[in-house]
Amino acid sequence: MKTMNIKTRNEIQLIKEQTGITVNKLIKVEDNEEFKRLWTGSKEYFKQNVGVRIERDNYLSFVQKGNQMIAKYHKAISIVLHDDSTLRVATGPNKCLEITRVVVNPVNQSKGYGTLLMDLFLDFLRNQLGYVPQLLLECVGAINFQGEILRSSVSEQTAFFRKFGFRVSNRKHYPDYVSMIRKVEEIERLPMAA
């Protein structure tokens, strides 16, 4: 990730005019090789999954860290279920990927949809990359779903992600915000028959 130096002030002002959000820092995220491979293979991989669609787009994401509002321009791949429950992933630093959104439609919460999204995503990584790279995410206690702010405590969010091997990596701003990380998962290859 690199901070944009050229036109940053003008871009930050434009963001404020269009969204009403005051941004302190603007980051342009460059795609890493793992994300590029996922981007290329995502449409074909999910073509056979009934009730699942893939959306690939450019996003402007906002993250509040303490009293700083950070905006990130990045490409993202979204795995979307029939009810619009969504998992979104983007490039992270180095070979990492960052989960930028996991949200379940409120009518289907506590019915396994979040687990289904995570399972679909992890299987997608194993299939397309041959392993699961280091994964990052941030728990902030709320998420927007179709214009409605859904709240759940950071401790509820971290409990969900712990089921998938994530661990808290930064609790400096707890209970408002924590970072989580999931270590690289290598896939054991069976020897080929002679």
pLDDT single digits (tens) 1-10: 444 444 677 8
Question: What DSSP element (H or E) covers 157?
Answer: helix 154-162
The residue among 169 and 60 whose pLDDT is bigger is: 169
Strand partners, 26: 71
86 vs 57: CA distance, rounded Å: 14
167 vs 64: CA distance, rounded Å: 20
What is the average pLDDT value for the chain, to the nearest integer?
88
Q: What is the mean pLDDT of residues 25-35?
A: 91
The pLDDT, as a whole number, for residue 6 is 47
**Token pair of 116, please?**
């289904």
**Token pair of 135, please?**
């994964």
Closest by CA to 185, choosing from 101, 95, 52, is 95
191 vs 113: CA distance, rounded Å: 36
Domain 22-186 CATH superfamily: Gcn5-related N-acetyltransferase (GNAT) (3.40.630.30)
The pLDDT, as a whole number, for residue 164 is 97
Q: What is the pLDDT of residues 79-116, one digit of tens each?
A: 999 999 999 999 988 899 999 999 999 999 999 999 99
Quick check: 78 and 54 in contact, CB under 8 A?
Answer: yes
Q: What is the mean pLDDT of residues 104-130?
A: 96
Give the confidence band of 178 by pLDDT, cuts at 50, 70, 90: very high
Whether residue 127 has pLDDT greater than 80: yes
The pLDDT, as a whole number, for residue 38 is 96
169 vs 34: CA distance, rounded Å: 22
Domain ranges of the chain: 22-186
Quickly count: other Cβ atoms within 10 Å of residue 155's Cβ.
12
153 vs 180: CA distance, rounded Å: 15
**Which residue in the block uniquely carries the two structure tokens 């969900």?**
160
Whether residue 130 has pLDDT greater than 60: yes
Whole-number Cα distances in Å, 176 to 46, 48, 183: 35, 39, 24
Closest by CA to 133, choosing from 33, 27, 29, 46, is 33
DSSP 43-108: HHHHTT-TTEEEEEEEEEEEEEETTEEEEEEEEEEEEEETT--EEEEEE-STT-EEEEEEE--GGG
The pLDDT, as a whole number, for residue 146 is 85
Global pTM exceeds 0.85: no
The pLDDT, as a whole number, for residue 2 is 44
The pLDDT, as a whole number, for residue 176 is 81
Which amino acid appears at position 8 of this protein?
Answer: T
Whether residue 190 has pLDDT greater than 60: no
